[in-house]
């Protein structure tokens, strides 16, 4: 039958009449830049995340750039970033003329290893940028302790984790800023590019709002050099239709992940990530005989499963599984095949935070399988059967 990696058409089709009404409302209003649709979505998101200020922006990448700009990060500054993440996390630092300093990963949760980050602090370090990867929170107590010790700003990249929690509190609310993305493949997927910045700090929110419109306040008077980081009123209206359904999407992702874990963990050759030692000494080496390692949620984390990411240890085994799933027409992808410190564009930085052994191993072993909300049990059973065949 085949199973896609993601099925946006089914999710959006269920809301089609409401989406069309939202489109028509904006069309009739003639107000396409900022205005009431933007204000309404920002108020709804601030309430949902439990934060004072929510500022919509043009993308998750621009949310990162804007957060760093508002904090005054620039040339000569270093920012600690995970090496195992999507490019934007480090690209945004580099675009402002600052230096991304790459930090290795925890093999159990895939998030940045804060002990490694601590070893890379220098007098130039200005900020730490933890990513809550695949929908699971990073080790925030350790991040905040390190930040406090060295007076670092904290920007949380929540692009994959809107609504995820750490010890009962939503990610994005711990640092100076939380940033989010509405790219269609994220848990709250929009109809094009979009992003969000949140903060509890009035002055930083004010600065971000000014920088979002070319650093302009009042009109045509520019206190700073900003840029155009606005999100369209139309995009806000459409996202506003999906927002009330968001918790349901996440609950279905969680149910799907639980079903995979229940059905897969009893198969021979299948191990589960060493969550007991997550961020505290978990080893990257696979348990003896393990052909697949399943992802897991730390007990103190509310995981929202943007990705369900397997590890396939053994030389060539990940690619063998890719081919196997390809033959069965089961959607899959590698997030991410090359750590950021080894990207060609960062070649001039080599030597700074080199040699992230764990992250490099993860990049050679990971494979994500479908976990999207609309996935049916029959489809999941198809994926499970294919994996069972692979480990046999």
**Least distance to ligand PLP, CB of residue 239, Å:** 13
**Contact between 156 and ligand PLP (CB under 6 A)?**
no
**E strands present in the chain:** 53-57, 78-82, 99-103, 125-128, 153-157, 165-166, 169-170, 177-181, 195-199, 270-272, 292-294, 301-302, 308-311, 366-369
Q: Which stretch binds ligand PLP (CB under 6 A): 47-55, 152-160, 287-295, 366-374?
A: 152-160
Q: Which stretch binds ligand PLP (CB under 6 A): 81-89, 225-233, 276-284, 341-349?
A: 81-89
Among 88, 236, 278, 290, binds ligand PLP (CB under 6 A): 88
Q: Which residues pair with 301 in a beta bridge?
A: 166
**Contact between 183 and ligand PLP (CB under 6 A)?**
yes
Nearer to ligand PLP, 95 or 150 (CB): 95
Residue with the CB atom nearest ligand PLP in the bound state: 60
Nearer to ligand PLP, 197 or 358 (CB): 197
The 3-state secondary structure of 146-202 reads HHHHHCCEEEEECCCCCCCEECCEECCCCCCEEEEECCCCCCCCCCCCCEEEEECCH
**Contact between 307 and ligand PLP (CB under 6 A)?**
no
Nearer to ligand PLP, 190 or 226 (CB): 190
The burial class, CB within 10 Å (0-12 / 13-18 / 19+), for 324 is: middle
For 9-16, the CB contacts below 8 A with 24+ separation are 10/374, 11/189, 11/249, 11/372, 11/373, 11/374, 12/191, 15/241, 15/242, 15/245
User: Euclidean distance between the first and final Cα of the chain, in Å?
Assistant: 22
Among 84, 86, 260, 336, binds ligand PLP (CB under 6 A): 86
**Contact between 187 and ligand PLP (CB under 6 A)?**
no
Nearer to ligand PLP, 229 or 260 (CB): 229
Q: Is 220 left (phi over 0), alpha (psi -120 to 50) or beta?
A: left
**Least distance to ligand PLP, CB of residue 211, Å:** 17
Q: How far is CA 239 from CA 40, 260, 290, in A?
A: 11, 29, 42
**Least distance to ligand PLP, CB of residue 242, Å:** 15
Q: By CB under 6 A, what part of segment 32-71 binds ligand PLP?
A: 59-61
**Least distance to ligand PLP, CB of residue 177, Å:** 13
Among 116, 176, 193, 365, binds ligand PLP (CB under 6 A): 193
Q: By CB under 6 A, what part of segment 104-143 binds ligand PLP?
A: 131
**Contact between 89 and ligand PLP (CB under 6 A)?**
yes
CA gap 316, 170 in Å, rounded: 38
**Least distance to ligand PLP, CB of residue 345, Å:** 16
Which residue ranges make up the site for ligand PLP (CB under 6 A)?
59-61, 85-86, 88-89, 131, 157, 159-160, 181, 183, 193, 195
């Amino acid at each position: 039958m085949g199973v896609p990696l993601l099925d946006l058409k089914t999710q959006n089709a269920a809301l089609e009449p409401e989406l069309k009404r939202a489109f028509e409302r904006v069309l009739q209003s003639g107000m396409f830049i900022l205005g009431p649709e933007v204000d309404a979505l920002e108020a709804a998101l601030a309430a949902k995340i439990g934060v004072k200020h929510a500022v919509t922006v043009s993308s998750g990448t621009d949310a990162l750039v804007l957060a760093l700009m508002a904090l005054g990060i620039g040339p000569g500054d270093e920012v600690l970033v995970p090496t195992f993440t999507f490019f934007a996390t480090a690209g945004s630092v580099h675009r402002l003329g600052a230096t991304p300093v790459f930090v290795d990963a925890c093999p159990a949760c895939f998030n940045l290893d804060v002990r490694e980050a601590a070893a890379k602090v220098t007098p130039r370090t200005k900020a730490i940028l933890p990513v809550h990867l695949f929908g699971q929170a990073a080790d925030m107590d350790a991040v905040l302790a390190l930040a406090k010790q060295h007076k670092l700003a904290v920007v949380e990249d929540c692009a994959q984790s809107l609504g995820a929690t750490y010890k009962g509190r939503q990610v994005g609310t711990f640092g100076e800023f939380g940033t989010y993305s509405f790219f269609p493949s994220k848990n709250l997927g929009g109809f094009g590019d979009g992003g969000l910045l949140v903060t509890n700090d009035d002055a930083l929110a004010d600065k971000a709002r000014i920088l979002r419109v070319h650093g302009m306040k009042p009109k045509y008077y520019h206190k700073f050099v900003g840029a155009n980081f606005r999100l369209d009123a139309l995009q806000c209206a459409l996202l506003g239709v999906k927002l009330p359904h968001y918790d349901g999407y996440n609950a279905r992702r969680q149910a799907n992940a639980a079903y995979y874990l229940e059905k897969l963990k009893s198969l021979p050759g299948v191990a589960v990530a060493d969550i007991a030692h997550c961020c505290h000494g978990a080893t990257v080496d696979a348990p003896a005989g393990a052909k697949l390692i399943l992802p897991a949620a730390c007990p103190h984390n509310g995981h929202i499963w943007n990705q369900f990411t397997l590890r396939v240890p053994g030389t060539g085994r990940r690619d063998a599984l890719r081919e196997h799933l390809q033959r069965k027409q089961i959607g899959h992808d590698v997030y991410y095949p090359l750590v950021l410190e080894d990207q060609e564009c960062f070649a001039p930085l080599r030597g700074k935070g080199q040699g992230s052994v764990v992250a490099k191993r993860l990049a050679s072993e990971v494979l994500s399988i479908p976990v999207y909300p609309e996935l049916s049990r029959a489809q999941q059973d198809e994926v499970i059967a294919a994996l069972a065949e692979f480990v046999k």
